[in-house]
Structure 1
Amino acid sequence: MSGWLRWLPGVQIARQYQAAWLAHDLMAGLVLTTMLVPVGIAYAVASGVPGINGLYATIVPLLVYALFGPSRILVLGPDSSLAAVILAVVLPLSAGDPARAVAVASLMAIVSGLVCILIGIARMGFVTELLSKPIRYGYMNGIALTVLISQLPKLLGFSVESAGPLRNVVRIVRAIVEGRANWVAFFVGIGTLAMILLLKRWKRIPGLLIAVVAATIVVGWFGLAESAGIKVLGPLPQGLPSFALPWIGVADLGQVLIGGCAVAMVAFADTSVLSRTYAAKTRAVVDPNQEMIGLGAANLAAGLFQGFAISSSSSRTPVAEAAGAKTQLAGVVGALAVALLLLLAPNLLEYLPSSALAAVVIAAAIGLFEFDDLRRILRIQPWEFWLSMACFVGVAVLGVIPGIGIAIAIAIMEFLWDGWRPHYAVMGRVDGIRGYHDIKRYPAARRIPGLVLFRWDAPLFFANAELFHQRLLEAVAHSPTQVRRIIVAAEPVTSIDVTSADMLAELERSLRESGIELRFAEIKDPVKEKMERFSLLERFGTPYPTIGAAVDAYLEEYKVDWKP
């Protein structure tokens, strides 16, 4: 693909479309519709906006992603992992006004879309790789718990003012004790949840649709909305989403910007993982930067057409795959089917109970929890497990937005720590093993008289330059013989900056004044080029190609009687 068409993978797929795929995509799209409607409405309510906007956020993004998205079968739309993030911003800023809630949520989607597009154009799709698996588990477990807690009042037929996950639990318990729970609504909701979870094991059976339809029929047939006071969805507005530019005022813009960036991070983290997974299954290559552009375009369109932020779906995508989807045409069919529903039968879901919608979201939240792999991480790397727990507690105690901020901060600290305090070694020769090895791990290793072999297992940069200086001088001080030369085994060193270069120049000068040479071996060419620019090689001389060559040169120059 060349020119501007490289930004439109959907056009390329359309050009290669095979007639044999059409029946599969049509069937997959119709099957997908059975999930798109109840899930879209449920996640809209969970995000603090009217249910109809969940369908708007389903129709438009699917059509846009079909054009800009690189993945053949990925399904985008409202998602449970984003619901808590959106709700955390929408709830305090909307003050119960549905129109303002839609404006806030739509503006967040626009911010998220622009962030994703800019990062994709800048070819920075790798950014989500900075979040390690334990950290992702931590914040996703925290989000799952937050979503679950936020839906408990709806499941029980009452509402509480949100004040954070843990305080919400206290308020829920208090409301139950005060007798505010609607137990008929609860049994409808818990029955819906049980049916969803029970039928989940059979992937080809639309369990979610069956459960939601059953709950709607029961409430409508027995008149439970009137007789038992069960809250229902009510008739949906007839018609399709229209273009609207949301605005909420400058005062609240800061929170929307932060929330939009948080949504962008969570959405792309989920989407990139799911996209890579299905690309591997279909043996396709997916450009992560184009994936971010596709996701960004879908979010931008959602925000401009009365929707809210969306992501990939780990529940709807497998449905599309199992139904035989071959291309994004399946998503287009699903979007058009939802649009027809709004035009021709907007009252079809009038008696859909709120507690059943809560059950749909709770079922999705349960699927977000990760325990098995965390147990494995605890067994093999305990400190990463506790990092995950710190992220989890941050989200669960402080809320989603601060919790994700903590997750990002911990990820950066984890990234920097390995470079800030890296492994290093003084090396010697171990009988029976080729090469030179860490004398701490091999205490019997033989050291070369007058020579210190020092290995540094990290880039040299401003944060660890002083530590390198200290550890090298400690190696000299603890040498069993008077040191004549130091060889730095620099093969693990992948970069060097100005701060560390100046440190090396000063270190070389002070060592030379003490009668000690500082030399390097196994320097990578890019690092060597940087050292030339920093005028360091003229101080250290030509680097040795290998540690063995450096040792042989030392033994020859100083006539040291030592056998490797």
Structure 2
Amino acid sequence: MRIRLDKWFPAPPDFGRATVVTDLVAGLTVGVLLVPQAMAYALLAGVPPVYGLYAALVPLVGYALFASSPHTSVGPTALASLLCLNGIAGLAQPGSETFIGYAILLGGLTGVLQLLFGLLRFGGIGSLLSRPVLSGFVSAAAVLIMFSQADALLGVRTERTRFFHDTVLELARNVGALHLPSAALGLLTLLLLLLAGKFLPKKFPTMLVLIVTSTALIALVGADWGVKIVGAVPSGLPGLAMPVLSWEVVLELLPVAAVIALLSFIETLSIGKAFSPRHQHYRIEPNRELVALGFSKLLGMFFQAIPSSASFSRSAVGEGAGALTPLSSLFTAGLLVLVLLFLTPLFYYLPIPVLAALIIYSVRKLFDVAEMKRLWKLAPKEFATLAITFLFTLFAGLQYGVAGGVVLSLYFVFARAARPHMAELGRVPGTNAFRNCARFAAAETDPGILIMRFDAELYFGNADFFRQQLERFVDARGEALRSVIIDAHTINDLDTSGLFSLSQFLDVLDRRGVELYLCGVIGPVRDMLYKSGMMERMGAAYFFLSIQDALTHIAEERGDRGWDLPAVQHR
């Protein structure tokens, strides 16, 4: 059987030599950015820099083999690295062999969860975090990352802390003992990165130039300045190795693995959806992305890779450089192979303050001020959600921030579902259009006829609310009320709890001598009304296609209309 590679790997219809050349340029461009970032994020994760290169190599290849997006670049990221550090710091000393083993195992566990979710077709889990919750969490993570690098940037010796406020206090207590050469080098690097980002072309390799320059400078001055350096970086490709498995440790790491799995998937999906509309040769498939991420991390675990994720900055660089197919990622991996085999000795004198500046510069845009301003003006309630998530993440911790964000998102989903929109309708003067009286002050109403619209499915979550609200409107009309019309075209489903509430409401109206009419009932709801006997109890005369038909019937006081009319057909 012939395998159609063009049906599996996303590639444009005119794929050819020109495409390969474009992918080569894009892949090498991403690689130039990836090498220093991978080493910096490894230090952020609490492991030696070489493990960042391992995590940049194998997962990148594994993801490219299965992904539906050719533009998403995976590897070490600031958020995944910080979650790794926070999740393992309580179990082992950062930098120790035990810690490194746990970090590699954590990456594999994350992959197992994502692979399992993908095979089970759980691509919908990406909706567990609403946009305000995600923005609040990521903004808080950016603040945590920047403050976590402040000691390395300034050359300050501090004790590692678990909470943000403790980190700030620890920095404040020791800021007077900063190492001036380290602080000068780190702050100057950060300033140059900011200026270059503003005035130089985006494709200019600013990070590479600064790293080469600062490394050469420290190599020349040697130990005279006392700046902390990376030191020896092992040469060679990562060897195949079995992770150290301990069920006790697995259970300890499982919660943080679940957090990284969720956030990694959301990041990847967001990046893919941002770029795919610009290209016609692929579409993002959530379940396939889960499988690709899971496979890449699981494969990486056997080659000493720490947790990885998708990077928006590197993906944007690749897409901007013209990447069109997964070949660009493979070319990036090829550059990493050359670095690991031949170039690691060049990183010996790489200054730690420069890597800290690189991390701070890379994560600064994660602090989403634009989204905060937008929500403040557009949706104050959603801004409050963002602010709560931000503060909770900042002061309670990353894992709890994600858990709290999921709970908050689900709360708002259920709250909205349990209290859907309900409106009293009136006729717009001179028309047969019926609109919400609260929005259209001139809408005309009849004291004897109440017209209501319920904008949601009628199910157990909102059935009591439905009945209580209707009874409140009925009570407000008093003795003058003769008929209630429910515009049901927006009720897209009906379960037995909703049916019971409708029956109870009908009982209330019967006791008052008030008639109930249903208009615009859609097929599945009509079927439920018919099978339950509610349609027979009400009678065919009380079902209409439109509000105007019902009003005409009430005004003319016609008799029974029969069961063969469209409004009451149940099949």
1:222 aligns with 2:210: no
Distance 1:76 1:505 in 2: 56
Letter in 1 for 2:382: E
1:331 aligns with 2:334: no
Distance 2:146 2:531 in 1: 57
Q: 1:97 to 1:27 in 2, by over 3 A?
A: closer
Conserved? CA contact 1:425–1:455, under 8 Å:
yes
Question: How many angstroms does 1:8 deviate by?
Answer: 8.3
Tell me the equivalent position of 1:37: 35
Tell me the equivalent position of 1:83: 81
Question: How many angstroms does 1:4 deviate by?
Answer: 9.4
Tell me the equivalent position of 2:371: 373
Distance 2:116 2:2 in 1: 19
Q: 1:303 to 1:522 in 2, by over 3 A?
A: farther
Tell me the equivalent position of 2:96: 98
Distance 1:53 1:169 in 2: 28
Tell me the equivalent position of 1:231: 228
Distance 1:323 1:442 in 2: 53
Letter in 1 for 2:215: T
- Superposed CA deviations along residues 81-103 of structure 1, whole A, max 9, x for unmatched, are 32222221022222235322222
Q: 1:111 to 1:544 in 2, by over 3 A?
A: farther
Distance 2:524 2:167 in 1: 55
Partner SS, residue 387 of structure 2:
helix
Conserved? CA contact 1:460–1:497, under 8 Å:
yes
Please, which of 172, 184, 194 is the counterpart of residue 191 of structure 2? 194
Conserved? CA contact 1:117–1:296, under 8 Å:
yes
Q: 1:367 to 1:469 in 2, by over 3 A?
A: same
Q: 1:332 to 1:521 in 2, by over 3 A?
A: same
Q: 1:4 to 1:133 in 2, by over 3 A?
A: farther
Tell me the equivalent position of 1:363: 361
Tell me the equivalent position of 1:206: 205
Tell me the equivalent position of 2:60: 62
Distance 1:8 1:102 in 2: 39
Distance 2:32 2:439 in 1: 61
Moved more, 108-117 or 269-278: 108-117
Please, which of 144, 147, 159 is the counterpart of residue 146 of structure 1? 144
Q: 1:153 to 1:539 in 2, by over 3 A?
A: farther
Tell me the equivalent position of 1:512: 510
Conserved? CA contact 2:471–2:505, under 8 Å:
no
1:182 aligns with 2:187: no
Distance 1:530 1:117 in 2: 39
Question: How many angstroms does 1:309 deviate by?
Answer: 1.9
Question: How many angstroms does 1:164 deviate by?
Answer: 1.1
Letter in 2 for 1:214: T
Partner SS, residue 480 of structure 2:
coil
Question: How many angstroms does 1:472 deviate by?
Answer: 0.6
Tell me the equivalent position of 1:128: 126
Letter in 2 for 1:472: L
Please, which of 259, 272, 293 is the counterpart of residue 256 of structure 2? 259
Distance 1:3 1:120 in 2: 26
Partner SS, residue 426 of structure 1:
strand
Aligned counterparts, 1:145-164, within 5 A: 145-157=143-155, 158-164=157-163
Distance 2:469 2:5 in 1: 51
| Pairwise CA RMSD | 2.5
Q: 1:524 to 1:309 in 2, by over 3 A?
A: farther
TM-score (norm 2): 0.90
Question: How many angstroms does 1:471 deviate by?
Answer: 0.7
User: Which stretches in structure 1 are left out of the alignment for 5+ residues?
Assistant: 560-564
Tell me the equivalent position of 1:387: 385
- Superposed CA deviations along residues 182-238 of structure 1, whole A, max 9, x for unmatched, are 221121111222222222242110111112222211111111xx2333221112122
Please, which of 248, 269, 272 is the counterpart of residue 269 of structure 2? 272
Distance 2:285 2:497 in 1: 36
Tell me the equivalent position of 1:310: 308
Distance 2:197 2:462 in 1: 51
Distance 1:5 1:256 in 2: 40
Moved more, 383-392 or 454-463: 454-463
Distance 2:97 2:71 in 1: 33
Q: 1:534 to 1:287 in 2, by over 3 A?
A: farther
**Percent of counterpart pairs with the same letter?**
28
- Superposed CA deviations along residues 376-414 of structure 1, whole A, max 9, x for unmatched, are 221121111111111110111111111111111111112
- Superposed CA deviations along residues 79-137 of structure 1, whole A, max 9, x for unmatched, are 12322222210222222353222222222222322332233333332332343322221
Distance 1:5 1:294 in 2: 19
| Number of aligned positions between the proteins | 553
Conserved? CA contact 2:466–2:501, under 8 Å:
no
Q: 1:97 to 1:227 in 2, by over 3 A?
A: same
- Superposed CA deviations along residues 143-193 of structure 1, whole A, max 9, x for unmatched, are 11111111111112234212211211111111224x2x2221121111222
Letter in 1 for 2:480: Q
Conserved? CA contact 1:46–1:83, under 8 Å:
yes
Please, which of 379, 397, 400 is the counterpart of residue 398 of structure 2? 400
Q: 1:330 to 1:440 in 2, by over 3 A?
A: closer
Partner SS, residue 91 of structure 2:
helix
Distance 2:143 2:63 in 1: 29
Distance 1:520 1:373 in 2: 43
Conserved? CA contact 1:83–1:147, under 8 Å:
no
Letter in 2 for 1:189: G
- Superposed CA deviations along residues 300-319 of structure 1, whole A, max 9, x for unmatched, are 22233211222221111122
Tell me the equivalent position of 1:545: 545
Distance 2:516 2:98 in 1: 67
Aligned counterparts, 1:468-483, within 5 A: 468-479=466-477, 482-483=480-481
Distance 1:237 1:535 in 2: 77
Conserved? CA contact 1:519–1:541, under 8 Å:
no
Partner SS, residue 76 of structure 1:
strand
Letter in 2 for 1:95: Q
Q: 1:51 to 1:505 in 2, by over 3 A?
A: same
Distance 1:354 1:499 in 2: 63
Question: How many angstroms does 1:320 deviate by?
Answer: 1.5
Question: How many angstroms does 1:530 deviate by?
Answer: 4.1
Tell me the equivalent position of 1:562: none
User: Which stretches in structure 2 are left out of the alignment for 5+ residues?
Assistant: 560-571
